Amino acid sequence: MQYDVFLSFRGTDIRSGVLSHLIAALSNAGVNTFEDEKFERGERIMPSLLRAIAGSKIHIILFSNNYASSKWCLDELVKIMECHRTYGNEVLPVFYNVDPSDVRNQRGDFGQGLEALAQRYLLQGENDVLKSWKSALNEAANLAGWVSRNYRTDADLVEDIVEDIIEKLDMHLLPITDFPVGLESRVPKLIKFVDDQSGRGCVIGIWGMGGLGKTTIAKSIYNEFRRQRFRRSFIETNNKGHTDLQEKLLSDVLKTKVKIHSVAMGISMIEKKLFAERALIILDDVTEFEQLKALCGNCKWIDRESVLIITTRDLRLLEELKDHHAVHIWKIMEMDENESLELFSKHAFREASPTENWNKLSIDVVAYCAGLPLALEILGSYLRWRTKEEWESVLSKLKKIPNYKVQEKLRISFDGLRDPMEKDIFLDVCCFFIGKDRTYVTEILDGCGLHASIGIKVLIEHSLIKVEKNKLGMHPLLRDMGREIVCESSKNEPGKRNRLWFQKDVLDVLTNNTGTETIQGLAVKLHFTSRDSFEAYSFEKMKGLRLLQLDHVQLSGNYGYLSKQLKWICWRGFPLKYIPNNFHLEGVIAIDFKYSKLRLLWKTPQVLPWLKFLNLSHSKNLTETPDFSKLTSLEKLILKNCPSLCKVHQSIGDLHNLILINLKGCTSLRNLPREVYKLKSVKILILSGCSKIDKLEEDIVQMESLTTLIADNTAVKQVPFSIVSSKSIGYISLCGFEGLSRNVFPSIIWSWMSPTMNPLSYIGHFYGTSSSLVSMDIHNNNFGDLAPTFRSLSNLRSVLVQCDTEIELSKLCRTILDDINGSDFTELRMTPYISQFSKHSLRSYSYLIGIGTGTGTYQEVFTTLNNSISKELATNVACDVSLPADNYPFWLAHTSEGHSVYFTVPEDCRLKGMILCVVYLSTPEIMASECLISVLIVNYTKCTIQIHKRDTVISFNDEDWQGIISHLGPGDEVEIFVTFGHRLVVKKTAVYLTYGESIDMEIEPSPEQKENALIRFIKKIVTCDFW
């Protein structure tokens, strides 16, 4: 049998003291220890003891005063040192109440014991034995160990010994994974965060769906901190009682066995004992808040330089913990394509990448796994050594039946949902609503009695679904898991399942009339060319059907067979000219009949008191809207691209809950009923492409909730003057408007600078109006007739102007710039304001404007630039500010003297952000952010000008950024102008373009750039000869 540690000692000296403490501490730490007292002592060491010595990894020799008086101990020592020399076994001496030099030289009390023993062996003529003892003592005493006199108590000594033993045995290292792919891009960030706390305690929540590697990351962090002075504990919370968890935590931290009799007792001990310790506690896979309460108590102990890390699938637990302590939440994301392929290849081929012959199949498997490490590991191991035919068979099978090992792990989150309604919502989203608008789905499922508002929030917190741009989504393997749960209810009889979405199953049920009342949802999506036809009586038994999608399905017979419980009906390509009266829609929340054959929605008005969404877009034959008088709950009316629609029923004025009207592309529609303008609830009105609408009524001011008006490419000749006094409108788009003149457009810019100095009297009675228009797009326009409107919009943040020719672009750009500066924009001059100060008090400064997402490479470049420039400007000598090229590969730098900088967006790249740097001259107290007026971005290729006010530039949001970047494409020739007030002079302008992917083209660096990533900044004190 092998041992971790072999203890050699003289029991009469130390048995009741340090020895008993050491043996107990090693046992508590899980160290397999051999004590030689287990053997009866005699004149000779038995073979079994010799095997124990040889088979132990570490030997601890406890030298005490009487150690050398024992032949047994000395013979052990000789054998131990022999193994040390021969096999490299580690020997650790402990000098307990003896001096190491006394052991080395065999003198003092220690030497006297050896001398008495030596006399006996000298008489027997055994000189060689004595020499071997002395040699072993000398050799052992020269090794590094512990001296008891250096410790205040035996307990401190024992703690140090045990810590070192555990470290040497790597017992503190938790097993992680054979192939730690991706950890190097995640773990260091968390470790750096902890290090940056500068001794302050912190709580970190690692959150994400199952299978992403939260536990692996947590274990890696635990191992990385093994050499720091932390008392550490890693707690796996699953399937353990609260007191068991408390005992484990306290035993790990206090390094002694602790027995807890109640949760309250455990909380009290944790709060008291951990308050005096610097601890690293990791709670893995926490599923309920009660576990956190039992293991964290009042959390005050964390502030004593401790670190608490929690891994969980439930965001809500971390949010609740915020009531007790600040929590830094770190969301785990899926692996990218490169990491995924590497991890899969490691398991499938034991290589970092597949060979060329296996590359395509490997990429197919990786695509199926969608960045989930769990799936990549399981499938990679499963496919190892299999043939290509077997790989193809597995891939084909996975499309229908998910891998059971993957599903078993993922299902933990689903099974952890305690409310059946939450499970129903998850399954509904899995089968029918991925990619749908969150608000839309919430309203529908609320109508089903599922309380979806809170239910969807819970699913997000449990990492079961995600929301991006208000669209519901989930990981593909979670989707497959949910669908498999549905299938498990009836493997061989689809008609007995509660949800049907797989086309073969749906067609089988409809063809053979095998549906049952169990079915709650059914979706089939046929191609628009399909001629498949089914009988309506196939739905007769589906009494509980509430969700129905029948895209391009031909249904004949009595529509009365369809369920009266329907809440959602999506029937693209609805085949009839109108909806039959016996089609029971009384409880429907949403009707989606895009691409229908409808001429009228129905012949006689229908009472649909719950209907909130009506979408008849792309219904080419629809001639008029229905009577809305009985649709009192309607919130969204969408009639896009209905070219035959020529009438909107005046009863639309009865829709007091209506929020959105979308009539885009209704080319036959000539006017809107005046009742539309009396709708106080409408927020968005879209009329783009209604080419025959030539007028917007002055009554539009009554639409007091209207925030967005989009009327591009209409025949409107005049914009209502009253729109200026609207207190709600924030966005107007009038692209294609023909009745305006350009020559007054610059007054918009003038109004940004000083609205109170506007000399135009005909808008005087609008002065002080709280208009909230923030953005405007204008295309191919004359701006004269809109001048009164523009000048009153003091909150306008951004304008995009589209010109027809480069000549028009150039003229307009010059006019705008002259209007802002009051003179020739490009002429650098001494202003009266600056000339009144001593030239020796002037300084050059750099001002950074960041335009981008604020993450990744962009943020690193921006932060480094900002810090570097700030640091260098604190000195009085010329300096370079640069970044190493190999650290920031995805950038380009452009610089120019004066107020503007010209550049060409490179081909074959994805622009991620911009950093604009302005070197300017001013007195020290002047702030560039206060003097900035606007930034103009002129795209000579697309003939556009983007104009952004100061408030927009210094607080870019996502919409502002998207508006800028979306108008800059590969190859575009662009010039950026910065305009400041007269209190400073711009010396140099530079722009740094950052990219999310590499640039394929080679770029020749300028002489100034050389091998540095960024251009040179020159800074100096301005002296008299500067001018």
pLDDT digits over 165-195, tens only?
887 887 667 888 889 898 988 898 898 888 8
In the chain, the amino acid numbered 188 is P
Q: Where are the domains of the chain?
A: 3-168, 183-331, 337-400, 418-488, 493-566, 832-1026
Query: What CATH number has the domain spanning 418-488?
Result: 1.10.10
For 648-676, write each residue's pLDDT tens digit. 999 999 999 999 999 999 999 999 999 99
- Tens digits of residue pLDDT in 920-930: 666 555 555 55
Residue 887 has pLDDT above 60, yes or no: no
Q: Letter for the amino acid at 685?
A: L
Lowest mean pLDDT among 447-451, 610-614, 819-823: 819-823
How far lies 145's CA from each of 8, 92, 148, 396, in Å? 14, 5, 10, 63
- In the chain, what percentage of residues exceed pLDDT 70? 74
Q: Identify the band that residue 772 occupies on the pLDDT scale cut at 50, 70 and 90.
A: very low
- What average pLDDT does this structure show over 383-406? 89
**pLDDT bracket for residue 447 (50, 70, 90):** very high
Please identify, in words, the CATH class of the domain defined by 183-331. alpha beta
Confidence at residue 776, expressed as pLDDT on a 0 to 100 scale: 52
> Are the C-beta atoms of residues 542 and 520 closer than 8 Å to each other?
no
Tens-place pLDDT, residues 801-833: 767 677 767 777 776 666 655 443 333 333 333
Q: How many helices (H) and strands (E) does the chain have?
A: 32, 35
The residue type found at 1024 is: C
Instruction: Say whether pLDDT at 787 is over 90.
Output: no
pLDDT tens, position by position, 199-217: 788 999 999 999 999 999 9
Interval 453-500: pLDDT, tens: 999 999 999 999 999 889 999 999 999 999 999 999 998 999 999 999
pLDDT band at 1009 (very low <50, low <70, confident <90, very high): very low
DSSP per residue over 499-539, as a string?
EE--HHHHHHHHHHT---TT--EEEEE--TT---EEEGGGG
pLDDT of residue 876: 36
In the predicted structure, residue 347 carries a pLDDT above the cut 80: yes
* Amino acid, res. 255: K
3-state secondary structure of 591: strand
User: Rounded CA gap, 326 and 747, in Å?
Assistant: 50
Please list the active-site residues: 76
Q: What percent of the chain has pLDDT over 90?
A: 43
How many Cα atoms within 13 Å fall on the side-chain side of residue 1?
9
* pLDDT of the residue at 304: 74
* Mean local confidence (pLDDT), 375-402: 90
Q: For domain 3-168, is the CATH number 3.40.50.10140?
A: yes
- Do 183-331 and 418-488 share a fold? no
Q: What whole-number distance in Å separates Cα of residue 303 and Cα of residue 284?
A: 21
Please report the pLDDT score of residue 998 as a whole number.
39
pLDDT at 821: 57
Residue with tokens 């607080």: 955
Q: What is the pTM of this model?
A: 0.65
Sequence letter at residue 421: M
- 706 to each of 655, 677, 958, how far by Cα in Å? 15, 10, 22
Please report the pLDDT score of residue 895 as a whole number: 79
* Arithmetic mean of pLDDT over the chain: 79
> Has residue 686 got a pLDDT over 80?
yes
pLDDT top residue among 24 and 1013:
24
Judge whether residue 749 has pLDDT over 50. no
pLDDT above 50 (res 871): no
Beta bridge partners of 554: 533
Class of residue 756 by CB neighbours under 10 A (exposed 0-12, middle 13-18, buried 19+): exposed
